[in-house]
């Protein structure tokens, strides 16, 4: 997930009502060739990748999958927020696409709205999928699609800055050792760490590795563990280890800070690998450390391939073939390479790291990652995320203490999720 950088995977307040002004002509129809035949006709597919045109490897794969299934695939790429709204509206009108690819936090919204079928209903085999990744699209024990790939967050580091400060990256294993490294970097005249703490879902996405790395649970925003995570961030600003700009930083602008070569660390994602190679300095990557050591659970990014509910149930068998084609071991490698993802299965992950050893750290991070809507949060997640980002904004700006900010956040979240 080039998370939030193009706006195509932003997960904000998702519309549960389709009372929006969208013309019916703005939605592709799934009735082209809709004769109930499972081996002929046109099958529609919607995805959140509008940047890929017909010449791309992605669209060529979709075409091949259609040919293999004996049908024509009519594909439309939408911006993520557009896709969510159009999918909800199409379902309300009984006009859903045959295959729908959506950002993983949106799956629970679609499922609760009755838009999607389950993998059990269509007998889609998900046994090879990493459990933590399928969990991001699971509601009340039922999976509503197959993850197409995943990514998450880690820490990029500037080797020259750390070397000049006398920091051995092998010693950075937990919060105390990371903070000590930042102190050495500042003393050496360089800058410590940059990240995004903007007051949007993007900021929550970046805070979650530290939040979960403390042992905190999203159902209890004012726990001692949550307080330790927010105190970590606020202390970094107070000590000058992180810049005040993090309050307004997106993941793009925080990366731009790191790209100056002045910073020791930057929290960012797989989608910055190409930019890292162009940065002009030697870099490395480590997982975000948990408070007491080990890898913190960072949030998963990535989409699920799902089969929406259809009036003509005879179409499901071909839709299943399309989903299987996109996610089988052979084609999954093409998909994750095209989309800059880590594969959701061990077999393809092993192929990725064999071909590109630098991806090993990302595979490890993805294995430890966690869906934002996991723990049966589902559509409650955005009602928790907003108070959370409001809290760290208040604490980082100094308008509230971390304890008061989190207490207010818990009160708001509890009232919203009753």
CA distances from 202 to 12, 223, 278, 370 (A): 9, 22, 24, 16
CA distances from 215 to 122, 172, 287, 342, 402 (A): 37, 19, 16, 25, 17
Indicate where the chain has its CATH 3.40.190.10 domain(s). Answer: 24-151+300-368, 153-298+378-416
The predicted structure's pLDDT at residue 17? 36
Helices (H), 165-200: 175-187
Beta carbons within 10 angstroms of residue 98's beta carbon: 26
CA distances from 168 to 144, 164, 181, 359 (A): 44, 10, 9, 21
Which 8-state DSSP code applies to residue 296? P
The predicted structure's pLDDT at residue 338? 87
* Strand residues in 18-83 grouped as ranges (E): 42-47, 72-77
Tokens representing residue 38 in the block: 């499972």
- Residues 408 and 404: their CA atoms lie apart, in Å, by 6
Q: What is the mean pLDDT of residues 47-63?
A: 94
For the domain bounded by 153-298+378-416, which CATH number is listed?
A: 3.40.190.10
CA distances from 62 to 35, 56, 70, 103 (A): 21, 10, 12, 18
Torsion 138-144-146-152 (CA) sign = negative
**Cβ proximity of 273 and 357 under 8 Å:** no
For the chain, first and last CA: distance in Å?
31
- Residues 1 and 135: their CA atoms lie apart, in Å, by 17
Q: What is the mean pLDDT of residues 157-163?
A: 98
φ/ψ of 188, rounded to 5, equals -85, 0
Q: Reply yes or no on whether the pLDDT at 36 is more than 70.
A: no
The residues, any chain, with a CB within 8 Å of residue 66's CB and separated by 6 or more, are: 43, 72, 73, 322
The residue that leads in pLDDT, 93 or 7, is: 93
Residue range 399-409, pLDDT digits in tens? 999 999 999 99
Residue range 275-330, pLDDT digits in tens? 999 999 999 999 999 999 999 999 999 999 999 999 999 999 999 999 999 999 98
Strand, helix or coil at 75?
Answer: strand
DSSP 317-330: HHHHHHHHHHHSHH
pTM of the model: 0.85
Beta carbons within 10 angstroms of residue 358's beta carbon: 12
pLDDT bucket at 346, cuts 50 / 70 / 90: very high
The predicted structure's pLDDT at residue 3? 46
Which 8-state DSSP code applies to residue 300? P
Helices (H), 278-368: 316-327, 329-339, 346-355, 360-368
The CATH number of domain 24-151+300-368 is 3.40.190.10: yes
Torsion 324-327-329-335 (CA) sign = positive
The predicted structure's pLDDT at residue 38? 52
Residue range 182-197, pLDDT digits in tens? 999 999 999 999 999 9
- Residues 161 and 85: their CA atoms lie apart, in Å, by 45
**Cβ proximity of 309 and 233 under 8 Å:** no
What average pLDDT does the chain have?
A: 90
């Amino acid at each position: 997930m080039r998370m939030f950088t193009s706006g195509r995977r932003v997960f904000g307040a998702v519309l549960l009502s389709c009372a929006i002004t969208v013309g019916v002509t703005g939605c592709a129809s799934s009735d082209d060739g809709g004769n109930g035949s499972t081996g002929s006709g046109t099958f529609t597919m919607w995805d959140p990748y509008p940047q890929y045109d017909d010449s791309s490897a992605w669209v060529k794969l979709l075409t091949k999958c259609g040919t293999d299934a004996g049908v024509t695939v009519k594909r439309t790429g939408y911006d993520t927020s557009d896709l969510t709204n159009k999918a909800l509206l199409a379902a309300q009108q009984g006009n859903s696409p045959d295959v729908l690819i959506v950002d993983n936090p949106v799956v629970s919204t679609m499922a609760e709205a009755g838009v999607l079928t389950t993998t059990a209903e269509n007998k889609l085999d998900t046994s090879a999928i990493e459990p933590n990744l399928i969990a991001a699209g699971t509601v009340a024990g039922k999976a509503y699609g197959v993850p197409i790939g995943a990514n998450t967050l880690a820490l990029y580091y500037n080797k020259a800055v750390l070397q000049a400060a006398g920091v051995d990256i092998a010693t950075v294993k937990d919060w105390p050792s990371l903070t000590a490294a930042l102190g050495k970097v500042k003393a050496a005249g360089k800058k410590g760490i940059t990240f995004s703490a903007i007051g949007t879902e993007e900021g929550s996405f970046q805070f979650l590795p530290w939040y979960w790395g403390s042992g905190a649970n999203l159902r209890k925003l004012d726990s001692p563990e949550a307080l330790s995570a927010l105190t970590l961030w606020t202390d970094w600003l107070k000590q000058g280890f992180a810049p005040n700009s993090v309050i307004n930083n997106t993941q793009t602008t925080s990366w731009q800070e790191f790209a100056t070569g002045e910073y020791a660390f930057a929290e960012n994602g797989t989608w910055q690998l190409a930019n890292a190679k162009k940065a002009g300095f030697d870099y490395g990557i480590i997982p975000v450390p948990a408070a007491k050591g080990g890898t913190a659970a960072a949030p998963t990014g990535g989409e699920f391939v799902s089969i929406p509910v259809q009036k003509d149930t005879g179409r499901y068998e071909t839709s299943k073939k399309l989903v299987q084609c996109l996610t089988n071991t052979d084609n999954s490698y093409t998909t994750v390479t095209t989309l800059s993802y880590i594969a959701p299965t061990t077999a393809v992950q092993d192929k990725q790291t064999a071909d590109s050893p630098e991806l090993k750290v990302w595979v490890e991070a993805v294995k430890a990652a966690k869906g934002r809507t996991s723990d049966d949060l589902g559509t409650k997640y955005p009602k928790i995320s907003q108070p959370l980002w409001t809290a760290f904004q208040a604490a980082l700006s100094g308008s509230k203490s971390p304890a008061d900010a989190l207490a207010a956040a818990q009160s708001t979240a509890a009232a919203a999720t009753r």
